[in-house]
C-alpha cells in the first residue's frame, strides 16, 4: 500500500533524520503524557487556594475566539485540557466538532471550512487557530484559505515539512487511507499548506517528541520587519501526546494568543515567568 502521508514520492526512502524519533522516546510517550497532564493540573491548583485560576488571569483572552484542531486519530475530548485552560483565562474556545481526525478525508476537507465559517459568523474579529500535530497542518491550510479570517496560527508538534512526513504514525496514516479514503486534491492541499503562512505563526516543537521528527516541525523564522507576518519557533521539553497538556506548552500558547499582530513581541520565557510571578504576587 502507498504511504498515505508521503504525498511526494510513494515508496521512496526517507531522507536522513526523517525516519521518526528513537523507539525509546515512542515507548515513553504515554508515561510522559500522564506526568505532563498531572503536572498541569497541579500547577493550576497550586497557584491559588481559591480556585484553579488567579483573578488576574481570567480576562487574558478578552473574549477573543480560538479554534482548536486535534491531532491525527484524536478528537475534541483529547484537546479538552488545552481548551479548558484557555477558556478559564478568558478566550472563547471552540472544538472542531468533526469527531476523530482521519486526515485529508472528504468529511474533514469539507467540514472544517464549514465549521470555521460557522464560528466566524459569531464574531466581528479574526479567529486564532491552534493545531496539534496533523491539526497544525490543517491550521496552516485554513490560514491560506482564509487569510483575512485567521488571526494567527499556533502549531504544536506539527510536521509540515517534507522531511517530517515519515513519522512513528505513518502506519496509522496508511491504514486510515484504506479505511476512510483521501480527497483527490490532497496533493494540492499539501502544496498549499507548505507555503509561507499569510498570518503570524508560532511552531512549538520538542527534541524529545516520540512520534514525529522535530526538524520537520520547525519553521523559517522572521520577525515581521520585512512586511511578512512574523514566524517563530519555540522549543519545549514535551512528549508529542502531551503537547495539549504540558504546562510549558500551555504557557507558550497563552503568551502567543495574547499577542497583538500590530505590536508583535517575540516569545521570551523570561516574560512568561515574570507574568506568572506578577499574578502570584497580586493574588497573595
List pLDDT tens digits, range 2-27.
343 444 444 444 444 445 777 766 66
pTM score, whole prediction: 0.84
Q: Which of 2-16, 121-135, 141-155, 216-230 has the lowest mean pLDDT?
A: 2-16
Amino acid 71: pLDDT: 93
Q: Is the dihedral of CA 273, 275, 276, 281 positive or negative?
A: positive
179 against 71, higher pLDDT: 71
What is the C-alpha separation between 50 and 58, in angstroms, rounded?
13
Exposed / middle / buried, residue 68 (Cβ in 10 Å: 0-12, 13-18, 19+): buried
Give pLDDT, residue 10: 40
Average pLDDT of the chain is: 83
pLDDT digits (tens, 9 = 90+) for 167-219: 666 666 677 777 778 999 999 999 999 999 999 999 999 999 888 888 999 99
pLDDT reported for residue 2: 35
Cβ 240 vs Cβ 205: under 8 Å: no
> CA-to-CA distance for 284 and 281, rounded, in angstroms?
5
What's the mean pLDDT in 68-72? 95
Q: What is the reported pLDDT for 212?
A: 87
Please give the CATH number for the structural domain made up of 23-283. 3.40.50.1820
Tell me the three state secondary structure of residue 223.
coil
Contact assessment for residue 102 and residue 75, using Cβ atoms and an 8 Å cutoff? no
Amino acid at each position: 500500500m502507498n504511504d498515505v502521508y508521503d504525498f511526494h514520492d510513494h515508496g521512496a526512502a526517507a531522507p536522513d533524520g526523517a525516519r521518526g524519533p528513537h523507539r525509546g522516546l515512542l515507548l515513553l510517550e504515554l508515561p510522559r503524557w500522564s506526568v505532563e497532564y498531572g503536572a498541569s493540573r497541579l500547577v493550576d491548583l497550586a497557584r491559588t487556594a481559591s480556585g484553579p485560576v488567579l483573578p488576574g488571569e481570567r480576562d487574558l483572552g478578552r473574549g477573543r475566539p480560538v479554534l482548536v484542531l486535534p491531532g491525527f486519530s484524536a478528537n475534541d475530548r483529547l484537546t479538552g485540557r488545552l481548551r479548558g485552560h484557555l477558556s478559564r483565562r478568558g478566550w472563547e474556545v471552540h472544538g472542531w466538532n468533526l469527531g476523530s481526525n482521519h486526515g485529508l478525508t472528504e468529511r474533514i476537507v469539507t467540514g472544517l471550512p464549514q465549521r470555521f465559517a460557522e464560528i466566524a459568523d459569531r464574531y466581528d474579529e479574526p479567529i486564532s487557530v491552534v493545531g496539534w500535530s496533523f491539526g497544525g497542518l490543517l491550521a496552516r491550510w485554513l490560514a491560506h484559505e482564509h487569510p483575512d479570517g485567521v488571526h494567527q496560527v499556533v502549531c504544536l508538534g506539527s510536521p509540515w515539512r517534507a522531511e517530517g512526513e515519515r513519522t512513528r504514525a505513518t502506519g496509522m496514516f496508511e491504514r486510515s487511507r484504506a479505511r476512510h479514503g483521501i480527497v483527490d486534491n490532497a496533493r494540492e492541499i499539501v502544496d498549499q499548506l507548505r507555503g509561507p503562512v499569510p498570518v503570524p505563526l508560532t511552531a512549538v516543537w520538542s527534541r524529545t517528541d516520540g512520534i514525529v521528527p522535530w526538524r520537520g516541525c520547525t519553521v523559517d523564522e522572521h520577525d515581521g520587519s520585512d512586511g511578512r507576518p512574523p514566524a517563530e519557533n519555540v522549543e519545549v521539553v514535551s512528549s508529542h501526546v502531551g503537547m495539549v497538556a504540558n504546562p510549558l506548552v500551555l504557557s507558550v500558547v497563552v503568551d502567543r494568543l495574547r499577542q497583538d499582530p500590530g505590536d508583535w513581541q517575540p516569545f521570551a520565557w523570561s516574560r512568561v515567568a515574570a507574568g506568572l510571578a506578577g499574578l502570584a504576587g497580586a493574588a497573595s
